[in-house]
């Protein structure tokens, strides 16, 4: 098992699902925030050209001077790319729409699938002493997502509690298998987290049952409820843990972080 302590470097986790609207960016923001609360030093890499994770962590477009585009394609010093958020222990590599053209530019690069891998392993990153790097992937299985999977030690999959959720998961699993075979043999699935869960809804319960029957222990015990506060928080440019610290959504992401750390033997109990 990967030890997130130094000197081996941070554990890198790609948060991915090719379907949009499954709570991927929401999970990236709030999972990172919850880890930071438990004294883990976390970097979020916004790999989505929409830049929603950047906005949700309080970094407005006008303040994004150097971005993920520069991390991948330009030789920018890391200290110029990594920026602090308002939360202690939580940093960000922001994204802008410039990243939408990166797919085309990457095609001509012979190391196109390894650019993020190499960028996140350059010696300069050691000065930041990150415990975890979370990569918020775009909602598609494009070259940016492949870069994230090649760079990552594991993939965390948010799965919306809705009809056809598991069918959409199969293509993602195939992509993970292909990356294992071609570029990153040690890539594993960190786990699947059920999002937008409504315990009063028979469909949510059925999706949970199907997910646990098919995927077993890969599915986190913690589920993320459908919660108004979670939905509202990004419009105030902050994680739900800051926007409404006592909400059910905030409690769920804290529980997810503790369960994750217990699984990784960083905490002794969830």
CA atoms within 13 A on the CB side of 83: 20
Span of 11-20, 181-190, 209-218, 260-269 with lowest mean pLDDT: 260-269
Q: Has residue 5 got a pLDDT over 50?
A: no
Residue 144: CB partners within 8 Å, gap ≥ 6? 47, 99, 102, 103, 137, 138
H-run or E-run covering 195: strand 188-195
- How do beta strands 11-15 and 42-46 pair? unpaired
- Please state the pTM of the whole predicted model: 0.93
Any domain includes 6? no
Q: Other CB atoms closer than 10 Å to residue 84's CB: what's the count?
A: 11
Under the banding of pLDDT at 50, 70 and 90, the label for residue 83 is: very high
Does residue 219 lie within any of the structural domains? yes
What CATH number is attached to the domain comprising 106?
A: 3.40.50.300
State residue 130's pLDDT score. 97
| Residue 192 · residue 214 · CB < 8 Å | no
Element (H, E) at 230: helix 228-232
Pairing of strands 154-160, 90-93: unpaired
Tens of pLDDT, residue by residue over 111-137, are 899 999 999 999 999 999 999 999 999
At residue 1 the predicted structure's pLDDT band, cuts being 50, 70 and 90, is: very low
Q: How many CB atoms lie under 10 A from the CB of residue 116?
A: 25
pLDDT at position 262, please?
A: 95
Asked whether residue 126 is domain-assigned, the answer is yes
Check if the beta carbon of residue 116 is closer than 8 Å to that of residue 150: yes
With a cut of 70, say whether residue 177 has pLDDT above it: yes
pLDDT digit string, tens, across residues 224-234: 999 999 999 99
Q: What is the largest CA-CA distance in the chain?
A: 52
Q: What is the DSSP letter of 121?
A: T
Q: Is residue 4 part of a domain?
A: no
Cβ–Cβ < 8 Å for 157, 17: yes
Residue 180: give the domain boundaries: 11-263
268 found inside a domain: no
Tally of domains in the chain: 1
Residue 241 pLDDT > 90, yes or no? yes
């Amino acid at each position: 098992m990967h030890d997130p302590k130094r000197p081996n470097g941070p554990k890198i986790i790609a948060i991915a699902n090719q379907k949009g609207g499954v709570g991927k960016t929401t999970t990236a923001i709030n999972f990172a925030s919850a880890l930071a609360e438990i004294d883990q030093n976390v970097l979020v890499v916004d790999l989505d050209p929409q830049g929603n994770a950047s906005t949700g962590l309080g970094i407005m477009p006008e303040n994004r001077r150097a971005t993920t585009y520069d991390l991948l394609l330009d030789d920018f010093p890391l200290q110029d790319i990594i920026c602090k958020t308002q939360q202690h222990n939580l940093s960000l590599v922001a994204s802008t729409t410039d990243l939408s053209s990166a797919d085309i530019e990457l095609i001509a690069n012979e190391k196109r699938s390894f650019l993020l891998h190499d960028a996140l392993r350059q010696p300069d990153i050691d000065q930041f002493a990150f415990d975890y790097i979370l990569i918020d992937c775009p909602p598609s299985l494009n070259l940016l997502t492949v870069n994230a999977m090649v760079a990552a030690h594991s993939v965390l999959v948010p799965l919306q509690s809705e009809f056809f959720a598991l069918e959409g998961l199969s293509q993602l699993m195939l992509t993970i298998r292909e990356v294992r075979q071609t570029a990153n043999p040690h890539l594993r699935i960190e786990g699947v987290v059920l999002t937008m869960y409504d315990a009063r809804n028979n469909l949510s319960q059925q999706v949970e049952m199907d997910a646990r029957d098919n995927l077993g222990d890969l599915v986190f015990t913690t589920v993320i409820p459908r919660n108004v506060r979670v939905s509202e928080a990004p419009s105030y440019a902050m994680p739900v843990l800051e926007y409404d610290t006592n909400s059910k959504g905030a409690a769920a992401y804290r529980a997810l972080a503790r369960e994750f750390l217990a699984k990784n033997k960083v905490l002794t109990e969830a």
